[in-house]
Amino acid sequence: MRIRGSVFSVITFILLGVLCAAAPVSAQGGARVGVFADLEIPLNTRVEVPVEVRDVSELYAVDLTIRFDPDVLQVEDANPNQAGVQPGLATFLDAGMTLFNEVDNETGTVRFVMSQINPSEGKSGSGNLLVLYFVGKQAGTSQVTVEHAEASDRYGVAITLSGVDAEIVVSASAPEVVATPIPVQDPTQIIVIETLMPTVVVTEAGAITQVTEVPAVSTSAEPTAVLTVGGDVDSGSEQGLEKQEKGSLWWLLTLPLVIVAGFIIIRRKQVNQPDPIDHSGGNNEE
């Protein structure tokens, strides 16, 4: 009975998350995200550039894609202990579950998708989400553009974000940039969730199939809500806000589904387990 109650609780949790995901509701307007200042930097010099969010209310989960010109700029790794190139996680949001936190220096793409987890509360106001360690590769000008931005509160209600774009000029004659280091969080506190990447399998008959693996979680921590967000970014403040749709943070549904499957398997094993055999040779009588 205790296991059955736990299964019902988890199913209720999932249904509440699906209802939140299906509701195309914007929690608020006016929040902005991106790089808020144009810069001029010298060649071959590392400069810390913050990705900020301003005037936001109850921010809990965020999904960002930022573009830059890889011929002009490159991003240095904030976490050499992990494969790939990562931006630094700044201090506005608490370290939580991260699906993407990576930089592709060949295509000039920064991809960042994360959610806080219980007992963290939604964050309001303004602050730094990420820190990009840009290095001037060659003289020129690069736009730093917010290509995509979605966000939600802890209950899965979408938060509208407008993208703010900046320009970074790399010049041999640029003055030396002197700035106080921007605080970042310990990367070991981030829970990394492996993405659902299809694996190509070649059968004996020569047929090629794709098998999608369930993401593995590096810790047992779980979110307090299924967070699904929606809304296209208003880059450059000239595009109108699009109609809110169901967002792309679907991956947070995976953990509750895995938990439900585990409870069901345990319950079936207990039901199918045979009764113990009495080897005493007879009934005990008082």
Enumerate residues 6+ apart whose C-beta is below 8 A from 236: 163, 165
The length of the chain, given as a count of residues: 286
Tell me, what's the pLDDT at 250?
A: 45
pLDDT band at residue 18 under the 50/70/90 scheme: very low
Q: List the structure tokens of 204.
A: 């004996």
Per-residue model confidence as pLDDT tens digits over 30-73: 999 999 999 999 999 999 999 999 999 999 999 999 999 999 99
Tell me, what's the pLDDT at 179?
A: 82
The residues facing 8 across adjacent strands are none
Of 195 and 184, the one with more pLDDT:
184
Q: What is the dihedral of CA 125, 145, 153, 155, to 10 degrees?
A: 180
SS3 (DSSP) at 124: strand
Judge whether residue 186 has pLDDT over 80.
yes
Enumerate residues 6+ apart whose C-beta is below 8 A from 139: 43, 72, 170, 171, 172
Identify the CA nearest to 212 among candidates 182, 245, 173, 254.
Answer: 254
pLDDT band at residue 21 under the 50/70/90 scheme: very low
Question: What mean pLDDT do residues 139-156 have?
Answer: 96
Judge whether residue 198 has pLDDT over 70.
no
What number does CATH give the domain 2-265? 2.60.40.680
Judge whether residue 28 has pLDDT over 90.
no
Of 53 and 187, the one with more pLDDT:
53
**DSSP category for residue 95:** P
Residue-range domain boundaries for the chain? 2-265
For helices 2-22 and 254-272, the axis angle rounded to 10 degrees is: 150
